[in-house]
């Protein structure tokens, strides 16, 4: 008979090898100790012990702090390595899938001339290529991750677990467990917090208040709009959104039992990263990955529905908005599915013309209802004057 094993709540906790020390901490302390001992062995013939201890104690204390210290759930050695990588990384990145091209000769000459005229001019930093994991969003909302596969994003509703009875809580846990047991690929549950803008709701309340059948209802609507406006002005409103991200990796080569992918599989994966778009078989694999994603999404809808969780797939425009919010959460534009890609050239339509009333503004030729109404009223006034 098997005995149950208690699993810690922190499933990402590293295993300990010697007391409370993990393998990473032991490696840092052991390497530091060996280096200090080797230094003492080499210098003990001519360097006094107090002088060597004055150098070795700060080094050992720094290594111990890096190995044993933690901040925000991360060890200090990881934070130091992340700070070094951030410091050495380029400060300016641009979207350039083909690589950063050199500037034109006339632009370089103009920059050198401008820099020569200003003695205190700072050198212009050279940008580096920005590599994002997502290479594009399909018409159906599927995110193309390049050689890493495909992904689909769905929004999931929430369930108030604390207010349920113990029997209902067990039922919810069992329903969620059935979904976890059915997983056949990577899944991420992302809880994101973003700023809440109530300006549109407030404007709709004020516009529709006059159409209400009773004066008391109109007053209540206006009062509620004033309350929402004051709430937005006095507080920083936030909202939470739960996203379910299903990812389907590209099929690799043969797998050697339980030991993971073979070296040939890893080599083929590296080769696929360079020329994945030119292979017709890769297109077939991507279509198959999209089919599996659609099936997995339908399974999530069916299995999470009894638990009271509604899963709704996002379309291309909504997926673009989520990715744009992740890249720039402070100033989110209004993305649509028809947005131009980073490598596309944006031009005006053939019907565009220069608007003399707004210098520097090009109109697409589509009539503006507000401007047309103003022009029609002006024409009517002119006709009345001539009569």
The pLDDT tens digits for 5-63 are 676 666 667 778 888 888 889 999 999 999 999 999 999 888 898 899 999 999 999 99
pLDDT, residue 267, reads 46
Structural domain includes residue 104: no
Give CA–CA dist 318/61, Å, rounded. Answer: 51
- Residues 303 and 367 placed together within one structural domain of the fold: no
CB pairs under 8 A, 24+ apart, for 278-282? 282/250
Any domain includes 7 = no
Does one domain contain both 162 and 291? yes
Please count the residues of the chain. Answer: 387
In a domain, 33, yes or no: yes
Nearest-angstrom CA–CA distance, 287 and 150: 10
- The model's pTM is 0.58
- The pLDDT-based confidence of 357 (bands split at 50, 70, 90) is very low
Same domain flag for 271 and 191: yes
Whether 192 and 321 have beta carbons less than 8 Å apart is answered as no
Same domain, 168 and 290: yes
Q: Report whether 23 contacts 15 (CB < 8 A).
A: yes
Token pair 């697409």 is found at: 364
Whole-number Å distance between alpha carbons of 33 and 60:
8
Assess whether 214 and 269 both reside in one domain: yes
Whether residue 98 is contained in a domain is answered as: no
Reading the block at residue 74, the tokens are 């991360």
Average pLDDT over every residue of 322-348? 63
Tokens of 187: 């899944």
Higher pLDDT, 256 or 29: 29
Query: Are residues 170 and 293 located together in one domain of the fold?
Result: yes
User: DSSP string covering 312-342, please?
Assistant: EE--HHHHHHHHHHHH-SSS-----TTPPPT
Residue 244, pLDDT score: 93
Tell me, yes or no, whether 266 and 376 share the same domain: no
Same-domain pairing of 154 and 259? yes
For residues 278 and 195, state if they share a domain: yes
Question: Which of 1-15, 80-94, 259-273, 278-292 has the largest mean confidence?
Answer: 80-94
Considering the domain architecture, whether residues 287 and 177 belong to the same structural domain is answered as yes
- pLDDT, position 300: 92
275 inside domain: yes
Has residue 246 been placed in a domain? yes
**Percent of the chain at pLDDT above 70?**
70
CA distance 213 to 242: 38
Could you report the per-residue pLDDT of 283-320, keeping only the tens digit for each?
788 888 888 999 999 999 999 988 889 999 998 888 88
Residues 321 and 264 in one domain: yes
pLDDT band at 373 (very low <50, low <70, confident <90, very high): very low
SS3 28: helix
Radius of gyration of the chain (CA): 31
Q: What is the pLDDT of residue 26?
A: 92
- The span from the CA of 205 to the CA of 104, in Å, is 54
Do 44 and 52 form a contact (C-beta atoms < 8 A)? Answer: yes
Instruction: Please identify, among 281, 309, 327, the residue that sits at the C-terminal boundary of a domain.
Output: 327
**What span, in angstroms and rounded, lies between the C-alpha atoms of 152 and 294?**
8
- N-to-C CA span, the chain: 105
Per-residue confidence band for 130, with pLDDT thresholds at 50, 70 and 90 = confident
Least confident of 107-116, 194-203, 359-368: 359-368
Among candidate residues 233, 152, 160, the one with its CA nearest the CA of residue 198: 233
What pLDDT score was predicted for residue 125? Answer: 64
**Structural domain of 274:** 141-327
Q: Is 242 helix (H, G, I), strand (E, B) or coil?
A: strand
* Whole-number pLDDT of residue 324: 81
Q: Which residue has the tokens 């599915």?
A: 337
Residue pLDDT, tens place only, 95-113 = 777 777 777 777 767 666 6
- Could you please report the per-residue DSSP string of 24-47? HHHHHHHHHHHHHHHHHHHHTTTS
- The answer to whether residue 119 sits within a structural domain is no
**Do both 299 and 166 map to the same domain?**
yes
Report whether 141 contacts 297 (CB < 8 A): no
Residue 276 has pLDDT above 70, yes or no: no
Residue 100: predicted pLDDT:
79
Based on the structure, what is the number of domains in the chain? Answer: 3
Q: Is residue 132 part of a domain?
A: no
Six token digits for residue 108 = 């370089």
Please state, in angstroms and rounded to a whole number, the distance separating the CA atoms of residues 68 and 64.
Answer: 6
Q: What is the rounded average pLDDT for all residues in the chain? A: 76
Please determine, for residue 154, whether its predicted confidence score (pLDDT) is greater than 90. Answer: yes
Ranges 97-101, 214-218, 257-261, 275-279: which has the least confidence: 257-261
């Amino acid at each position: 008979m098997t005995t149950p094993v208690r699993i810690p709540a922190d499933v990402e906790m590293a295993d300990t090898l010697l007391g409370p020390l993990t393998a990473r901490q032991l490696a840092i302390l052991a390497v530091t100790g060996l280096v200090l001992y080797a230094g003492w062995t080499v210098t003990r013939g001519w360097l006094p012990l107090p002088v060597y201890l004055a150098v070795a104690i700060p080094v050992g204390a720094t290594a111990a702090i890096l190995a044993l210290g933690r901040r925000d759930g991360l060890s200090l050695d990881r934070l130091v390595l992340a700070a070094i990588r951030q410091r050495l990384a380029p400060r300016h990145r641009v979207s350039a899938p083909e690589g950063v091209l050199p500037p034109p000769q006339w632009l370089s000459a103009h920059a050198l001339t401008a820099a020569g005229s200003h003695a205190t001019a700072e050198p212009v930093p050279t940008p580096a290529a920005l590599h994002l994991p997502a290479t594009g969003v399909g018409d159906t909302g599927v995110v193309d991750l390049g050689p890493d596969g495909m992904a689909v994003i769905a929004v999931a509703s929430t369930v108030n677990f604390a207010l349920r009875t113990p029997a209902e809580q067990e039922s919810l846990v069992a329903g969620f467990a059935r979904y976890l047991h059915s997983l056949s690929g990577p899944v991420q549950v992302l809880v994101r917090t973003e700023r809440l803008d109530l300006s549109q709701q407030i404007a709709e309340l004020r516009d529709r208040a006059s159409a209400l059948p009773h004066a008391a209802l109109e007053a209540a609507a206006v009062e509620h709009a004033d309350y929402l406006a004051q709430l937005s002005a006095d507080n920083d409103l936030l909202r939470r959104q739960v996203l379910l991200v299903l990812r389907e990796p590209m099929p690799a080569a043969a797998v050697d039992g339980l030991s993971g992918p073979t070296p040939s599989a890893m080599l083929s994966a590296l080769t696929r990263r360079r020329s994945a778009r030119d292979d017709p078989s890769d297109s077939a694999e991507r279509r198959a990955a999209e089919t599996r994603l659609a099936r997995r999404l339908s399974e999530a809808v069916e299995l999470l529905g009894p638990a009271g969780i509604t899963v709704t797939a996002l379309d291309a425009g909504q997926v673009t908005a989520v990715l744009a919010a992740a890249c720039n959460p402070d100033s989110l534009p209004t993305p649509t599915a028809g947005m131009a890609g980073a490598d596309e050239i944006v031009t005006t339509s053939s019907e565009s013309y220069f608007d003399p009333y707004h210098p520097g503004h090009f109109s697409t030729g589509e009539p503006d209802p507000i401007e047309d109404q103003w022009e029609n009223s002006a024409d009517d006034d002119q006709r009345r004057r001539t009569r």
